[in-house]
Structure 1
Amino acid sequence: MDVLTEPFAVSFVSRAALAGILVAIGCACAGTWVVLRGMAFLGDAMSHGMLSGVATASLLGASLHFGAAVAAGAMAAGVSALQRSRRLGNDTTIGLLFVGMLALGVIIVSASSSFAVDLTAFLFGDVLGVRSSEVLVLAATTTVIVVVTIVGRRAFLLAALDHRIAQTTGLRPRLTEGVLLALLTLAIVSSFSVVGTLLVFGMLIAPPAAALLWTSRVSSAMVLAAAFGCIAVLGGLVISWHAATAAGATIALTAVGIFALSLGLSSLKRRPTSPLPTERTLVS
């Protein structure tokens, strides 16, 4: 047991574990909707597109989280605006914004020599360097994500099933889409300091995808995804400590490993051929 508990006797590792658990809970709530709605590419694009905001904020001496929020918010607003045009498909608009934002970030980084040391932390996170103040911010943002998820659960579910059903029941699908994008933005921005802009996608998608292999109930999937995410965080930190590997990358890889294991075990139970719940099987 000492092998499992030894790393957490160190203060910065235990603080990293707490930060990672908060990230896992927030990503479970937002990521479950992302997987159900088929918005994985959007989540990937937003997480990568944050680089431009983070780089700009660093150059200006501003908060990196603020820069990330501005970039992710701009990405979400751009997607919402371009999706109203029927001349372009969703994948096309998201892909164009993704490339544009990421390219802008690379240009900003390449134009400044001050990123020589810090770029790795931007891209892959620095979970072992998380400060107590950042843990408090994570706790606040995770609380907001959980509350919004609980309050908007019915609207999110109906919008995931069918926009026409949502409108018939008096809901506003466009507003629901906007809130969901805001929720996704908040989850990504609050997570990048732990696993970085390139690896946050793993925490956002892998645990919910693994959970949805075992249950078709949204609420159960979120709880299970949070559990998988926490296991990935704690397991990743233990592996990283003993193997001397990058902590953020190890956490993300562990999350993907949990999905792969779930996929293999669930296939043995001869579940339906579709790996994720369909619209007809979604139950609140």
Structure 2
Amino acid sequence: MFGDFFSRALIAGVGLALVTGPLGCFVVWRRMAYFGDTMAHSALLGVALSIILSLNMTLGVFAVAAFVAGALIILQRQATLSTDALLGILSHSTLAVGLVLVGFLTTVRIDLMGFLFGDILAVSVEDIAVIYGGGIAILAILILGWRPLLASTVSPELAEAEGLRPEVSRLVLMILMASVIAIAMKLVGVLLITSLLIIPAATARRLSATPEQMAAVAAGLGAVAVIGGLYGSKTWDTASGPSIVVMALIVFAVSLAVPAGRLFGRRPVHGA
């Protein structure tokens, strides 16, 4: 179906960017960057457990990331530690436990660098099917739940007064992030996933006038980063995952020269 590994990488990367852009907007609006890192770090633990228990790796990573999200919610309710302290504990602990478990898997050859930094050039047709199938499901949930998600982001108190249940919206957002991390791990690696969520969304924030515009622009900028990064990787023989993130950073740096909100001629999105 897709005869060339480079074309498969482009198709997979663009498909992922179309999902991480809109979802990353909520990460930026809610200041959840550290939470994204925590869930991404837990992916390696999911990989190790999947191998030990002979589970599907995507499902294993999703299960562990979702478990970490649930653990954070439970620990936050105890109010004994600040959220950033809890995130630090969960982030480094899951990464360390994952690395220790990988060390015990002496009979299985594991490409640790591939899991940490991704290998988008090794993507298969089956991986593309998972990315687009999962991506369509994630975008459908975002679209259907856009109003409660946005309302609980802008003002949780007002959303609760309107009967929108902001805690449910927060849980849904965490599950969606776990899903993205599960399908993105093979492409950009556990250490770079959060960058693809945050950088295009942060760039789009300066250029957009409404939340909807910001989501669309973030998706487009993510696609530009993927395409530019892959061609740069091919030209200069650099690692593909980091090259995509570097391209996203370049786009962000260039956007700083554009007056905020200039893309649509209105004030940029600051609230949300």
The equivalent residue for 1:51 is 44
Q: Quick one: distance in 2 between partners of 1:76 and 1:92?
A: 14
The equivalent residue for 2:246 is 253
Q: Quick one: distance in 1 between partners of 2:197 and 2:39?
A: 12
Q: Quick one: distance in 2 between partners of 1:268 and 1:182?
A: 31
SS of 1:84's equivalent in the other structure is helix
1:75 aligns with 2:72: no
Q: 1:183-198 residue pairs with structure 2 within 5 A?
A: 183-198=176-191
SS of 1:245's equivalent in the other structure is coil
The equivalent residue for 1:234 is 227
TM-score (norm 1): 0.88
TM-score (norm 2): 0.92
Structure 1: segments with no counterpart, 5+ residues: 1-8, 270-275
Q: Quick one: distance in 1 between partners of 2:235 and 2:108?
A: 29
Q: Is the 8 A contact 1:52 1:104 kept in 2?
A: yes
**Change in CA separation of 1:266 and 1:54 when aligned onto 2, cut-off 3 Å:** farther
**Change in CA separation of 1:77 and 1:11 when aligned onto 2, cut-off 3 Å:** same
Q: Quick one: distance in 2 between partners of 1:110 and 1:266?
A: 50
The equivalent residue for 1:40 is 33
| Number of corresponding residues | 267
SS of 2:94's equivalent in the other structure is helix
Q: Quick one: distance in 2 between partners of 1:169 and 1:114?
A: 56
Corresponding letter in the other structure for 1:122: F
Q: Quick one: distance in 1 between partners of 2:212 and 2:206?
A: 14
1:278 aligns with 2:270: yes
The equivalent residue for 1:156 is 149
Q: Is the 8 A contact 1:23 1:138 kept in 2?
A: yes
Q: Quick one: distance in 2 between partners of 1:127 and 1:101?
A: 24
Q: Sequence identity of aligned pairs in percent?
A: 33
- Across the aligned residues of Structure 1 and Structure 2, the Cα RMSD in angstroms comes to 2.0
The equivalent residue for 1:272 is none
The equivalent residue for 1:175 is 168
Q: Quick one: distance in 1 between partners of 2:86 and 2:270?
A: 25
Give the ranges of 4+ consecutive aligned residues of structure 1 lying more than 4 Å apart after TM superposition: 114-117
1:135 aligns with 2:128: yes
Report the Cα offset of residue 67 of structure 1.
1.8
Q: Quick one: distance in 1 between partners of 2:135 and 2:214?
A: 17
Q: Quick one: distance in 1 between partners of 2:81 and 2:256?
A: 34
Structure 2: segments with no counterpart, 5+ residues: 263-267
Of 185, 201, 207, which aligns to 2:200?
Answer: 207
Q: Quick one: distance in 2 between partners of 1:154 and 1:82?
A: 28
Report the Cα offset of residue 120 of structure 1.
1.2
SS of 1:198's equivalent in the other structure is coil
